[in-house]
Amino acid sequence: MQQKNLFYDKDCIPVPALRAMQLEKLRKIIAYEYERVALFRTRCDKKGVKPRDLETLADLAKFPFMKKTDLRDEYPFGLTATPMSEINRFHCSSGTTGKPICIPQTAGDVEVWTEGVVRCLSMYGITKDDVVQVSYGYGLFTGGLGAHYGAEKLGCAVLPTGAGNTEKQIMLMKDLNVTAICCTPSYFLHLATVAEKLGVDFRRDTKLKHGIFGAEPWTDEMRSKIEEISGITAHDIYGLTEIAGPGVAGNCGHSNGLHIWEDHFYPEIVDPDTLEPLPDGEEGELVITTLDRFGTPMIRYRTRDLSRLHVEQCPCGRTMRVMDRVHARSDDMLIIHGVNVFPSQIEACLLKVPQVAPHYMIELSSTATMDRFEIKVEVIDGAFSDTISDMELIRRKVSASIKEVVGLSPVITLVPSGSLPRSEGKIKRVIDNRKK
Ligand code: DLL
């Protein structure tokens, strides 16, 4: 059973009390946003809906959505709801195109975010006796400072390495008896490869027990692989800049999903095409309303992340709803030869083949007549061979595994271990050079 900790009682608030609290907070934040943010007010007026129309939780569906383009269009302060004197911190997310988005936040907003991280860390079994290495990037990205503030608040000894300088990270991990590391799962894989090259065995030479991984989709197969190569427990932490940062949700280990701290972050699942709310149990796009953030409140923010809210309560005793691990974003979906393919499906298929390492790249290009779909994947040291028949055998296994799930037969290129690019932050695993 989960140890008792600072936020344990809050995690287990009885459901009726939780729903009443959410309704009260929703009423307050919607009225606040309506009064202070012109974009929201104009949209509500256009829809003919007023803050007073929120009488039940279901009434939230009457209110307009917010999305990333709103933050871009209103950059930098169009969605800021407080005077600048109350702003304590900025975080920005660059995205891939155009202007960044900027989230000004109050000191209270940072506290709510920190609390989310503390609740996640406690849930993973981390205590003040742990030494926590924060290898997420520090700066405008929320990973570094988010994990740092949470671990520090919990009373852990924090090692703020940030991203990169991998050999030094491994040395410090050993010398300072680090017990938990926070980074992207893809960076941990890189760290593991470098450790192996340096002759460092995590089990033998370090005290590492926990990995707190997030910021990018990763599959259950990847989680098993990480645990197998390192002997640590791989925990999932979810979040996004617009809503706070890491610590919006985390997994408790009792169910295969993440508790979303819904006393602060109210979740809905909507059909990504019709935008109609879906009942718990059905998969769709996760939409979040921040209940206690006042610098840049987000009302019905479309995350683009695909998930599902579980109907059943988690056996751990927490009443906060469990959401499915985010395996994909709606905008990650590739359409190849008319078939919908998520990169996470490819990852799961690849990792079923024991000779294959968890490093891969999906490359798409157009030829004169059709799309070319290629997967480059590393083969583990020892399995890579000059013998054509050995390699052909692995290639066939990979191909069959993908064909079975996705129904397509990509070109499979097996490459030696260490030959594909590594990332210190979020990894980019898809290169789509097709003509649009
Ligand atoms: O990635 C915040 C974060 C930092 C979360 C460190 C966890 C750990 P953004 O850069 O705004 O913020 O990116 C948010 O990353 O909408 C998801 O698509 C993806 N994402 C974040 N955590 C997970 C996760 C941070 N655990 C976007 N699993 C989100 C899957 C995740 N995807």
CATH assignment of the domain containing 337: 3.30.300.30
* Gap between the Cα atoms of 361 and 187, Å rounded: 15
Ligand 1, atom 9: closest residue by C-alpha: 240
**Residue 436's pLDDT band (boundaries 50, 70, 90)?**
low
Which CATH number fits the domain that encloses residue 326?
Answer: 3.40.50.12780
Q: Does the pLDDT at position 135 exceed 50?
A: yes
Q: Are residues 170 and 303 in the same domain?
A: yes
pLDDT at 1: 38
Pocket test for ligand 1, best of 71, 94, 238 (most atoms within 8 A of CB): 238
Residues 6+ apart with CB under 8 A from 392: none
Taking the centre of ligand 1 as the mean of its atom positions, its distance from the CA of residue 404, in whole angstroms, is 29
CA of 383 to the centre of ligand 1 (A): 33
Residue nearest to atom 13 of ligand 1 (CA): 240
Task: In whole angstroms, give the CA distance from residue 15 to residue 18.
Answer: 5
Are 276 and 387 in a shared domain?
Answer: no
Backbone angles phi, psi at 133, to 5 degrees: -95, 120
**Lowest-pLDDT range of 340-344, 352-356, 369-373:** 369-373
List the single range of 96-100, 281-285, 324-328 with lowest mean pLDDT: 96-100
Confidence of residue 78 (pLDDT cuts 50, 70, 90): very high
* pLDDT per position as a tens digit, 395-432: 999 999 999 999 999 999 999 988 999 988 899 999 99
Residue 106 Cα to ligand 1 midpoint, Å, equals 21
Distance 215 CA to ligand 1 centre (A): 3
Which amino acid is located at 169 in the chain?
Answer: Q
Distance 217 CA to ligand 1 centre (A): 8
SS3 content of the chain, % helix, strand, coil (to 5): 35, 25, 40
Q: Backbone phi, then psi, for 15, in 5-degree steps?
A: -55, -45
- DSSP labels, 295-329: SS--SSEEEEEEE-B-SSPPTTS--SPEEE---EE
How much distance in Å is there from the Cα of 258 to the middle of ligand 1?
Answer: 13
Whether residue 185 sits in one domain with residue 282:
yes
Identity at 325, one-letter amino acid code = R
User: Residues 154-187: pLDDT tens digits?
Assistant: 999 999 999 999 999 999 999 999 999 999 999 9
Contacts of 171 (CB under 8 A, 6+ apart): none
Q: List, in sequence order, every beta strand (DSSP E) within 111-256.
A: 131-134, 157-159, 180-183, 210-214, 233-239, 246-250
| Alpha-carbon span 317 to 41, nearest angstrom | 39
The label of the residue with tokens 């083949």 reads: 353
* Domain hosting residue 425, numbered range: 333-432
Point out the ligand 1 atom lying closest to the alpha carbon of residue 239: 5
Looking at the structure, tell me whether residues 307 and 348 fall in a common domain: no
Q: Pick from 330, 354, 375: which residue ends a domain?
A: 330
Q: Which of 66, 105, 240, 331 to mutate to test the pocket of ligand 1 (most atoms within 8 A of CB)?
A: 240
- Are 252 and 349 found together in one domain? no
Residue type present at position 263: D
Alpha carbon of residue 332 to chain centroid: 14
Of 311, 330, 349, the residue at which a domain comes to its end is 330
Q: Which of 96, 305, 332, 427 to mutate to test the pocket of ligand 1 (most atoms within 8 A of CB)?
A: 305
Does residue 197 sit in the same domain as residue 59?
yes
Distance 131 CA to ligand 1 centre (A): 23
Q: How confident is the model at residue 368 (pLDDT cuts 50, 70, 90)?
A: confident
Closest C-alpha to ligand 1, atom 20: 215
Distance 248 CA to ligand 1 centre (A): 10
- 307, 326, 347: residue to mutate for ligand 1 pocket, most atoms within 8 A of CB: 326
Q: Where among 296, 330, 364 does a domain terminate?
A: 330
User: How far apart are the C-alpha atoms of 303 and 93, rounded to whole Å?
Assistant: 13
Residues 340, 332: Cα–Cα separation, whole Å: 10
* CA 202 vs CA 143, 182, 188: distances in Å: 23, 15, 12
Label residue 198 exposed, middle or buried (CB < 10 Å: 0-12, 13-18, 19+): middle
Span from the CA of 340 to the centroid of ligand 1 (angstroms): 23
Cα→Cα distances 249→39, 141, 227, 238, 244, Å: 28, 18, 21, 5, 11
Pocket of ligand 1 (CB under 6 A): 93, 136, 141-143, 214-217, 236-241, 245-246, 303, 305, 326, 329
Domain check: are 218 and 365 in the same one? no
Q: Which of 177, 170, 218 is nearest to 194 (CA)?
A: 170
* Nearest-angstrom CA–CA distance, 389 and 395: 10
If DSSP states are collapsed to H, E and C, what string results for 163-205?
Answer: CCCHHHHHHHHHHCCCCEEEECHHHHHHHHHHHHHCCCCHHHH
pLDDT at res. 2 = 44
Name the domain count of the chain: 2
> What is the phi-psi region of residue 337: left when phi exceeds 0, alpha when psi lies from -120 to 50, beta otherwise?
left
